[in-house]
Amino acid sequence: MSQEFAGKTFLIAGAAGFVPGHVAQFYLERGARVIGLDNFITGTRETIEILSAYPNFTFYEQNIYEGLPDLSDEKIDYVLSLASPASPIDFSRIPLEIMRVNSEGTRLLLELTKDKKARFLEASTSEVYGDPEIHPQVETYWGNVNCNGPRSCYDEAKRFAEAITMSYHRRYGVDTRIIRIFNTYGPRMRPNDGRVIPNFINQALRNEPLTVYGEGTQTRSFCFVDDLVRGINAVLMSDDPTPFNVGNPEEYTIIDAAKIIIKALGSKSTIIHKELPEDDPKQRRPNISKLTGATDYRPQVSFAEGLQKTAEYFRNLSLRS
């Protein structure tokens, strides 16, 4: 086990979630102390059980927009704002909770960061670009977002989270970083996550038809979670407070991704088409030249390798249930 971050303490909001759980484990395995916060609205107790196997992990069951635990005696070096639900199935189910965690919750985390003189990272999203009119998306693009559409509770909440992060940086000199996460997949995703990769993999494993919305010509870029975590760390340890895209720039149409998954898993599934949801982005691909120019980050896990690792997780999950 590396001791790269020995003596450092990371507070990770949303630690029971898919991406935050992997981030927490990344730092725990490198000698850091990690304090995790989560209210299990979308996270799992299984993830906290995995993290609790590390002696340097502390967990508080906490809804961060209602307040933070008493951390007055803690030395905290990094605060990572990773608590927001991010799946389409959550946008209609818990829209107000999504907006509150990204507004009130983010503010409380920034206040803590200011008090502790720590470094803050806001995990924003490619959804701030909306249905983009430029392709691939660069950090200087301001986006094309429907501010009252069915996805707006997440899109606009994350745009607010970026704005308040930069406001604390400018007004109080808080040491902040912002990442914009593009489509990510991997082990420990929720089976009913609602995003394309777990949907397709689970349908393929059951030999059920893969559900493609619209004609399937819309595109996405899929980043394996291990690559995303390395990108998050690269941005956190950089010196630039302005936003960075983090993801894998390889681009696939949805219909091609479905065909690749069927073939890769040896599935007997067919493909069916359903109506395209409102405001579904037509193209989504990150330009990561800012990140690769400022750091040594390069995606390392191929789509084929990542699919097999993710499918193995879901296959084992189905065997346990």
Burial class (CB in 10 A: 0-12, 13-18, 19+), 165: buried
Q: Which residue has the tokens 């989560």?
A: 38
Q: 213 pairs with which residues across the strands?
A: 274
User: What is the amino acid identity at position 38?
Assistant: D
Burial class (CB in 10 A: 0-12, 13-18, 19+), 130: buried
Written as six digits, the tokens of 132 are 């983009």
Task: Say whether 130 sits in a helix, a strand or coil.
Answer: strand
How many CB atoms within 10 Å of residue 286?
A: 27
Query: Distance (Å, rounded) from C-alpha 121 to C-alpha 228?
Result: 14
Q: Which of 27, 78, 129, 154 is catalytic?
A: 154
Burial class (CB in 10 A: 0-12, 13-18, 19+), 296: exposed
Task: Say whether 9 sits in a helix, a strand or coil.
Answer: strand
Nearest to 194 by CA among 91, 282, 268: 91
How many CB atoms within 10 Å of residue 187?
A: 19
Q: Is 154 designated active site?
A: yes
Task: Say whether 81 sits in a helix, a strand or coil.
Answer: strand
**Among all residues, which ones are annotated catalytic?**
154
